[in-house]
């Protein structure tokens, strides 16, 4: 199981939001490159970077900073936030991303097929849930489409990996949405990464038992409630024994 430390970029700082609300922001570093290096020094094998400004404005805003992060670490980086065109995806891969995360663009009947044809398994789709429906445009809008229905359609279209977040849990340290995750995983054959609410080793182990390929962890790591080493041990322990 892969543990993805989250680095969310807002105004060129590393921050965390609560439930995706830009008005509920906590800064955790004025130098996101140093933050990225710190997680790698602690043993991270992947990083999860989101351009929040890009997500809110509809196009990448931190490509230069993302490139600095990608070039400064020795592990792969998955990047999301405002990637709504094939040109955006080209740009983020040129910046050094190993994997690109699309959300809003996944519902575009022209963009997604073009992206999958060009980049294949380097594309992951973020399914962000608000009351069971797909949230889009930086979580500021909700589509009239159930997450499970979207997952079925996207899996049939050839999406190779999903990242599932229950927005109500994100940044709240209330535990992951294992029920929503199970419903999603039941209808897709692709790997699913679980995000939102991870607060403890028990949460990581529960996600592993539920079949998550990985977990994205943000606030719990930054607050010091959970160490990266302990999170990795919990995931590995379950992989060996569950």
* pLDDT at residue number 157: 96
Question: 233 pLDDT exceeds 80?
Answer: yes
* pLDDT at residue number 239: 56
Average model confidence (pLDDT) across the chain: 95
Q: What is the pTM of this model?
A: 0.95
Mean pLDDT along residues 158-174 = 95
Give me the domains of the chain, ranges plus CATH numbers: 2-241 (3.20.20.70)
Contact 91, 127 (CB under 8 A): no
DSSP 19: T
* pLDDT at residue number 16: 87
Task: List, for residues 172-230, the tens digit of each pLDDT value.
Answer: 899 999 999 999 999 999 999 999 999 999 999 999 999 999 999 999 999 999 999 99
Strands (E), the chain: 2-10, 13-18, 21-29, 47-51, 77-80, 99-102, 123-130, 133-136, 141-146, 162-166, 192-195, 214-217
Active site residues: 8, 128
Tokens of residue 90, six digits: 């080209």
What string of DSSP letters covers 23-57? EEEEEEES-HHHHHHHHHHTT-S-EEEEEHHHHHH
Confidence at 68, pLDDT banded by 50, 70, 90: very high
Question: 67 pLDDT exceeds 80?
Answer: yes
* pLDDT at residue number 133: 97
* pLDDT at residue number 130: 95
Question: 122 pLDDT exceeds 70?
Answer: yes
Question: 235 pLDDT exceeds 90?
Answer: yes
Task: List, for residues 1-44, the tens digit of each pLDDT value.
Answer: 999 999 999 999 999 888 888 889 899 989 999 999 999 999 99
* pLDDT at residue number 169: 94
């Amino acid at each position: 199981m892969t543990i993805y430390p989250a680095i969310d970029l807002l105004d060129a700082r590393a921050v965390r939001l609560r439930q995706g609300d830009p008005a509920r922001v906590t800064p955790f570093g004025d130098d996101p490159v140093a933050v990225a290096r710190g997680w790698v020094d602690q043993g991270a094998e992947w990083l999860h970077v989101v351009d929040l400004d890009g997500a809110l404005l509809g196009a990448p805003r931190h490509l230069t900073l993302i490139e600095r992060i990608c070039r400064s670490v020795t592990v792969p980086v998955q990047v999301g936030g405002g990637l709504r065109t094939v040109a955006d995806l080209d740009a983020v891969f040129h910046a050094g991303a190993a994997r690109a995360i699309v959300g809003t663009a996944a519902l575009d009947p022209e963009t997604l097929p073009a992206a999958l044809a060009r980049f294949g398994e380097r594309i992951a789709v973020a399914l962000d849930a608000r009351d069971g429906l797909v949230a889009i445009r930086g979580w500021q809008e909700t589509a009239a489409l159930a997450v499970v229905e979207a997952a079925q359609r996207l899996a049939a279209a050839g999406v190779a990996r999903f990242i599932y977040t229950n927005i109500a849990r994100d940044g709240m340290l209330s535990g992951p949405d294992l029920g929503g995750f199970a419903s999603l995983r039941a209808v897709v054959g692709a790997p699913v990464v679980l995000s939102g609410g991870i607060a403890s080793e028990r949460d990581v182990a529960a996600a592993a038992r539920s079949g998550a390929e990985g977990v994205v962890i943000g606030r719990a790591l930054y607050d010091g409630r959970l160490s990266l080493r302990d999170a990795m041990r919990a995931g590995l322990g379950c992989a060996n024994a569950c």
